[in-house]
C-alpha cells in the first residue's frame, strides 16, 4: 500500500533554496504534524505536493501517484492551504457548488459539508463578510467536499476560537480513526502536541527530524531535577561524571547530559540523601528550539 504522502529529494529554488532535498513519508491512520518556523518551506512543500508549485527537482506523490495524475483528485485528497481562497462576493453555498460542479460531486454533499462545519445558517451570505474563523471552516468544508481519504491542512487552527480548535482536533482524530490520513502544518506548537501522532520538523527547507510526537518530547534534553539536602555536593558529583548541573533553588539542582538512573546511582554511591529525583519532559518549544535553532 502506498504512503498517503511521500516526498523524495524535493527541492524548490527561487532566488535561494526554499525547500532543499526534502524526503519524508506519512502514514495512514495518523495525524502527521508538519512543524517549522515561519519561512521554513512548509507551505511551499505542501503546494508542491498538491501540484500547485513545480519542484525544481524531486518527486512528491499522493497515494502513490503525482497529484496531477490522480483521476479524481477531490476523492483522494482535500486541502486547505489559505484563508484567502474565496471570491468575496460569492456566497458560501455557491463557492462550494462551483467546486462540486467541477468534480461532479452530487449537490447534497454541499449541504452535508456545510452542516458539518456548522455554516448552514450562513450559507447564503457573501464570504467577504465572514470572520477568519468562518473562512477557515468554509475552507475545511471545501477540502471535505470530495470525501477524501487524505487531508492536507496548512495552519488550520489559525483564526479558530478555542472551541473551534477543540472541534478541529476531535474532527481530525475521528477522520484518521478509520484509516485515513491527515497532514497538518502549524506554528502553534502546543496545539501540534495535542493534535499530531507523528511530527516532521523542517528548518530552512531541510528535514530536521521525523518522529512520533511523544518520542520527540521525551528525548529532549530537558534534564533531571534532583532535590537533596546537599545540592552543592550532588552537583560536584554529577559534574565529575561529565554532566552539566545548575542550582535552581536552595535544595534542587537541574542536571543535563546524563540519565536519571546515573544521577540516582551517583547519589547512592556518595551517600547523598535525595528528597526527590525526576527526569523532566521537555516542552515542544524546547525541542523545536533545539532542532531548528530558531525562535518560536
Partner 1 sequence: MPGLFISEVRKITTTSTFYWLLAGGVAFSLLAVSSLSGADDAAMTQPITEQLFLFLGTFVKLGFLILGIRIVTDEFRFGTATPTFLFTPARRKVLLAKVGAAAMCGVFMAVVTQVVLFGSAAGFFAIKGEVLHIGSAGTHAFFGGIVAGTFWTVIGLGVGAVIRNQIIAIVGVVVWFMGFEDIIGSRLGDADWFLPGRAGLSLALAPDGRALWNGLTIVLVYAALTLALGAIAVHRKDVA
Q: Beta strand pairing status for 77-80 and 5-13?
A: unpaired
Q: Is 106 in the site for partner 1 (CB under 8 A)?
A: no
Rounded to 5 degrees, what angle do the CA atoms 39, 25, 222 make? 65
Contacting partner 1 within 145-204 (CB under 8 A): 146
Select from 13, 98, 107, 194 the one that contacts partner 1 (CB under 8 A): 98
Q: Is 223 in the site for partner 1 (CB under 8 A)?
A: no
DSSP annotation string for 12-81: EESSSEEEEEEEEE--TTSEEEEE--TTSSHHHHHHHHTTSS--SEEEEEETTB-GGG-SSHHHHEEEE-
- Cβ neighbours for 271, distance < 8 A, ≥ 6 positions apart: none
Stretch binding partner 1 (CB under 8 A), from 100-108, 170-178, 235-243, 265-273:
100-108
In whole angstroms, the minimum distance from the beta carbon of 77 to partner 1 comes to 8
Q: Is 132 in the site for partner 1 (CB under 8 A)?
A: no
Between CA 241 and CA 98 the distance in angstroms is 67
Longest dimension (CA), the chain: 77
Q: Is 91 in the site for partner 1 (CB under 8 A)?
A: yes
In whole angstroms, the minimum distance from the beta carbon of 119 to partner 1 comes to 16
Helix (H, G, I), strand (E, B) or coil at 91: strand
Q: Is 116 in the site for partner 1 (CB under 8 A)?
A: no
Between CA 30 and CA 116 the distance in angstroms is 21
Q: Is 68 in the site for partner 1 (CB under 8 A)?
A: yes
Whose Cβ is closer to partner 1: residue 101's or residue 118's? 101
Stretch binding partner 1 (CB under 8 A), from 83-91, 221-229, 256-264, 269-277:
83-91
Q: Is 47 in the site for partner 1 (CB under 8 A)?
A: yes
HSE-up (13 A, CA, CB side) for residue 181: 19
Sign, CA dihedral 284-286-287-288, equals positive
Stretch binding partner 1 (CB under 8 A), from 102-110, 187-195, 242-250, 277-285:
102-110
Count the residues of the shown chain that bind partner 1, applying the rule CB under 8 A: 32
Select from 54, 108, 121, 295 the one that contacts partner 1 (CB under 8 A): 54
Which residues lie near partner 1 (CB under 8 A)? 47, 50-54, 67-68, 70, 73-74, 79, 81-82, 84-91, 94, 97-99, 101-104, 142, 146
Amino acid at each position: 500500500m502506498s504512503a498517503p504522502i511521500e516526498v523524495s529529494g524535493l527541492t524548490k529554488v527561487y532566488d535561494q533554496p526554499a525547500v532543499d532535498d526534502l524526503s519524508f513519508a506519512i502514514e495512514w491512520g495518523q495525524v502527521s504534524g508538519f512543524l517549522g518556523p515561519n519561512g521554513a518551506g512548509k507551505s511551499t512543500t505542501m503546494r508542491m505536493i498538491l501540484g500547485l508549485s513545480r519542484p525544481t527537482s524531486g518527486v512528491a506523490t499522493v497515494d502513490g501517484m503525482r497529484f496531477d495524475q490522480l483521476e479524481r483528485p477531490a476523492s483522494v485528497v482535500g486541502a486547505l492551504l489559505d484563508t484567502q481562497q474565496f471570491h468575496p462576493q460569492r456566497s458560501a453555498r455557491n463557492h462550494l457548488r462551483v467546486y462540486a460542479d467541477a468534480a461532479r460531486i452530487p449537490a447534497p454533499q454541499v449541504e452535508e459539508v456545510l452542516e458539518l462545519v456548522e455554516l448552514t445558517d450562513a450559507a447564503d451570505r457573501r464570504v467577504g463578510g465572514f470572520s477568519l474563523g468562518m473562512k477557515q471552516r468554509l475552507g475545511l468544508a471545501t477540502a471535505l467536499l470530495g470525501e477524501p481519504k487524505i487531508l492536507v491542512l496548512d495552519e488550520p487552527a489559525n483564526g479558530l476560537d478555542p472551541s473551534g480548535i477543540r472541534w478541529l482536533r476531535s474532527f481530525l482524530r475521528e477522520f484518521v480513526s478509520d484509516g485515513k490520513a491527515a497532514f497538518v502544518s502549524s506554528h502553534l506548537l502546543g496545539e501540534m502536541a495535542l493534535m499530531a501522532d507523528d511530527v516532521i520538523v523542517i528548518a530552512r527547507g531541510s528535514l530536521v527530524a521525523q518522529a512520533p510526537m511523544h518520542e520527540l518530547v521525551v528525548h529532549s534534553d530537558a534534564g533531571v531535577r534532583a532535590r537533596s539536602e546537599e545540592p552543592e555536593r550532588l552537583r560536584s558529583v554529577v559534574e565529575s561524571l561529565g554532566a552539566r548541573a545548575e542550582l535552581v533553588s536552595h535544595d534542587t539542582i537541574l542536571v543535563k547530559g546524563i540519565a536519571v538512573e546515573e544521577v540516582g546511582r551517583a547519589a547512592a554511591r556518595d551517600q547523598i540523601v535525595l528528597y526527590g529525583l525526576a527526569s523532566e519532559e521537555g516542552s515542544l518549544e524546547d525541542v523545536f528550539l533545539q532542532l531548528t535553532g530558531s525562535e518560536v
